[in-house]
Amino acid sequence: MSIDLHTHTFKCHHAKGTSEDIVKAAIQQGLKAIGINDHFPMRYLPAPIPAADYAMELSEFPDHVKEIKQLREKYKGKIEVLFGSEVDFYQPAIDTIKQSLEPFMDDFDYLYGSVHVVTDWTIDDEKFMYKWEEQPIDNVHDGYYRVLEQMAKTRLFDVVGHIDVCKKFKKFPSGNLDTRIGTTLDAIAAAGMVLEINTAGLRKPVGEIYPSPRILEMAAARNIKITLGSDAHDPAEVGYCFDKAIDLAKRAGYASLVTFKKRQPSIVGL
């Protein structure tokens, strides 16, 4: 069964295409299920972060929910339309995040927990490239995986998004981070979270899938389950390079994927 749980639309202000465009593209790709998980409103991020460039406003979210429900009915029998959201985890605002999500919890099929902000800057935004030069690269990576661990320990989310997105600009650590990453993966496993194989990295400077083969092997050793996400920011990117993602998963020993319905996971063939 082919699924893509990670897609975005024009509503996040840095992607193109409507939710229906995404659904139509998924049907053309022969997918059995498509998840639309636009970025959850993130005005809770610290002031230097241009939150309006990354997500819709909270006031827009109810209409977004309504639209996805309508698409689910319209395309019933052709494809399963799933409703998710990619939530930007930021520990100082965890109470605000929970309160903002609460009215929609009965609507979600799944929630992604992702980290883009470690302190007061977005590690995968070109606008903040200068920040990488202001501190040791190893410190950024270490801090990133520590925040991911905090995110997993909240047990608020179902899927870990693009786990090693910190490599996007080829800013690789000089040392071996297996111990640090292993501790983060332990927290992910304890929380019962699913790890996303995200093909967006193939479209970025790093030219690699998230996660690396090494991290995926470490996840498999901990019996962490996986799912697939293109992180499409254009309908043309739906299902992007999933053949490579599936090959990576099989080489790590995986034979199945996880999909969701009303926050409940189910296993499907790879």
Q: How confident is the model at residue 14 (pLDDT cuts 50, 70, 90)?
A: very high
Q: How confident is the model at residue 96 (pLDDT cuts 50, 70, 90)?
A: very high
Query: For residue range 249-258, what is the model confidence (pLDDT) as tens digits?
Result: 999 999 999 9
Instruction: Say what angle helices 178-190 and 137-153 make with each other, to 10 degrees.
Output: 10
Statement: residue 6 has pLDDT above 70: yes
Is residue 152 within 8 Å of 187, Cβ to Cβ?
yes
Q: How confident is the model at residue 128 (pLDDT cuts 50, 70, 90)?
A: very high
Question: Helical H runs in 29-163?
Answer: 61-74, 94-101, 129-132, 137-153
Q: Strand 256-261 to strand 264-269: parallel, antiparallel, or no bridges (unpaired)?
A: antiparallel
The confidence score (pLDDT) of residue 265 equals 98
Is residue 144 within 8 Å of 117, Cβ to Cβ?
no
Query: For residue range 150-180, what is the model confidence (pLDDT) as tens digits?
Result: 999 999 999 999 999 999 999 999 989 999 9
Closest to 161 (Cα-Cα) out of 239, 80, 86: 86
Query: For residue range 205-228, what is the model confidence (pLDDT) as tens digits?
Result: 999 999 999 999 999 999 999 999
Six-digit token string for 38: 């636009």
Distance in Å from the first CA to the final CA of the chain = 7
Sequence-separated (6 or more) residues with CB below 8 Å from residue 74: none
Which domain CATH number covers 43? 3.20.20.140
Q: Strand 33-36 to strand 3-4: parallel, antiparallel, or no bridges (unpaired)?
A: parallel
Query: For residue range 113-124, what is the model confidence (pLDDT) as tens digits?
Result: 999 999 999 999
The pLDDT mean for the chain works out to 97
**Mean pLDDT across the stretch 124-144?**
96
Statement: residue 247 has pLDDT above 70: yes
Six-digit token string for 102: 């609460």
Give the span between the Cα atoms of 16 and 127, in whole angstroms: 20
The confidence score (pLDDT) of residue 1 equals 59
pTM of the predicted model as reported, rounded to 2 decimal places? 0.96
Report the half-sphere exposure of 152 (CA within 13 A, side-chain side): 25
The confidence score (pLDDT) of residue 146 equals 98
52: domain range?
Answer: 3-269
Q: Strand 226-229 to strand 110-114: parallel, antiparallel, or no bridges (unpaired)?
A: unpaired
Report how far apart, in Å, the C-alpha atoms of 126 and of each of 55, 122, 154, 169 are: 17, 9, 29, 9
Query: Number of structural domains, the chain?
Result: 1
Q: How confident is the model at residue 21 (pLDDT cuts 50, 70, 90)?
A: very high
Report how far apart, in Å, the C-alpha atoms of 87 and of each of 97, 115, 209 are: 8, 8, 21
- Can you name the residues that pair with 3 across neighbouring β-strands? 33
Q: How confident is the model at residue 76 (pLDDT cuts 50, 70, 90)?
A: very high
Instruction: Say what angle helices 213-221 and 242-251 make with each other, to 10 degrees.
Output: 50
φ/ψ bin of 122: left (φ > 0), alpha (ψ from -120 to 50), beta (otherwise) = beta
Output the CA angle 251-256-262, nearest 5 degrees.
140
Question: What single-letter amino acid sits at 191?
Answer: A
Closest to 265 (Cα-Cα) out of 204, 200, 192, 215: 192
The alpha carbon torsion through 33, 70, 261, 44 (nearest 10 deg) reads 110
Rounded percentage of the chain residues whose pLDDT exceeds 90: 98
